[in-house]
Amino acid sequence: MRSEASFPLKAAAALGLLFLHLPIAIIFLYAFTTEERSYVFPPPGLTLKWFAVAWERPDIWQALGLSLQVAAWATLLALILGTLVAGAMTRARFFGRDQVTLLILLPIALPGILTGLAMRQAFGVAGIPFSTWTIVLGHATFCIVIVHNNAVARMRRLSGAILEASADLGANSFQTFRHILLPNLGSALLAGGMLAFALSFDEVIVTTFTAGAQSTIPIWMLEELIRPHQRPVTNVVAMVVFAATFLPILAAYYLTRGGSETAGGGK
């Protein structure tokens, strides 16, 4: 028998949602304000001019292009390595398997500042100059975990008899992966890839340690907040980042809402 939630419980839930989402609403509101330097409430007026200003600024396009490039490569790398690791850890049985699994999941559990510092020092020891690829490698550390979690959750649902039947019918390992395993992993990998892309696109801490002099969109936003030129432009870019991250996360949720897959793994 279902019972209706009490009014205090509903009020507490409403306050919690308001606390979480009111700052986002404020960002959206002040993307349209006519005031350039300060935040005055209520806004003295509303305008769309800041969207045109943001469109004409080349530094925004450069940062956006770098963010998209890094997110795309980090997601591709995560899809390949995360799927292979998930297959090995699901099907193989060996001594220390649980410890290896912990090591795989560790990058997403560690604070980003530790991951970023470790990557920066590793690049310094190896003599690797900072570039787009150093950012990609830094982002891949946690993107691989996202894909791994989704792939493992789906693989655990698959019956081993399917793979055995494929082998009995003469299929080799590649044919089994292509025609049996990959179609069954499709939606889980798509969800993991979209979530990895969203997390990479708005990553700040690891990027700060691995980017060198380059600026992704989150780094650009931080610099604009420290030395503001046109505050509403920053809010316009924040709306773009919101859409670029929210839509993939929403799609990943709907692809894995059955509850059997892991859409994020806690990042």
pLDDT single digits (tens) 121-159? 888 888 888 888 889 988 888 888 888 888 887 777 766
Q: What is the pLDDT of residue 191?
A: 81
Q: What is the pLDDT of residue 70?
A: 92
pLDDT at 265 over 60: no
Q: What is the pLDDT of residue 266?
A: 45
Give me the phi and psi of 46, to 5 degrees please. -120, 145
Instruction: Report the range out of 25-34, 60-69, 252-261 with the highest average pLDDT.
Output: 60-69
pLDDT at 267 over 50: no
Alpha-carbon distance values, 93 to 80, 87, 203 (Å): 21, 11, 35
43 or 218: whose pLDDT is higher?
A: 218
How would residue 220 be classed by pLDDT, with cut points 50, 70 and 90? confident
How would residue 1 be classed by pLDDT, with cut points 50, 70 and 90? very low
- The share of the chain scoring above pLDDT 90, in percent, equals 4
Q: What is the mean pLDDT of residues 158-177?
A: 68
Q: Does domain 57-255 have CATH number 1.10.275.10?
A: no
Q: What is the pLDDT of residue 72?
A: 92
DSSP at 42: S
DSSP per-residue string spanning 59-85: HHHHHHHHHHHHHHHHHHHHHHHHHHH
pLDDT at 71 over 50: yes
In one-letter notation, the amino acid at residue 76 is: L
> pTM of this prediction?
0.77
pLDDT at 73 over 90: yes
Alpha-carbon distance values, 117 to 114, 140, 205, 263 (Å): 5, 15, 9, 27
pLDDT at 59 over 90: no
Q: What is the pLDDT of residue 257?
A: 63
pLDDT at 36 over 70: no
How would residue 37 be classed by pLDDT, with cut points 50, 70 and 90? low
pLDDT at 96 over 80: no
Q: What is the pLDDT of residue 263?
A: 46
The whole-chain average pLDDT of the chain stands at 78
Rounded to the nearest 10°, the torsion over CA 109, 112, 117, 122 is 60
Q: Which of 157-161, 204-208, 218-222 has the lowest mean pLDDT?
A: 157-161
pLDDT at 200 over 60: yes
Is residue 155 a contact partner of residue 87, using CB atoms and an 8 Å limit? yes
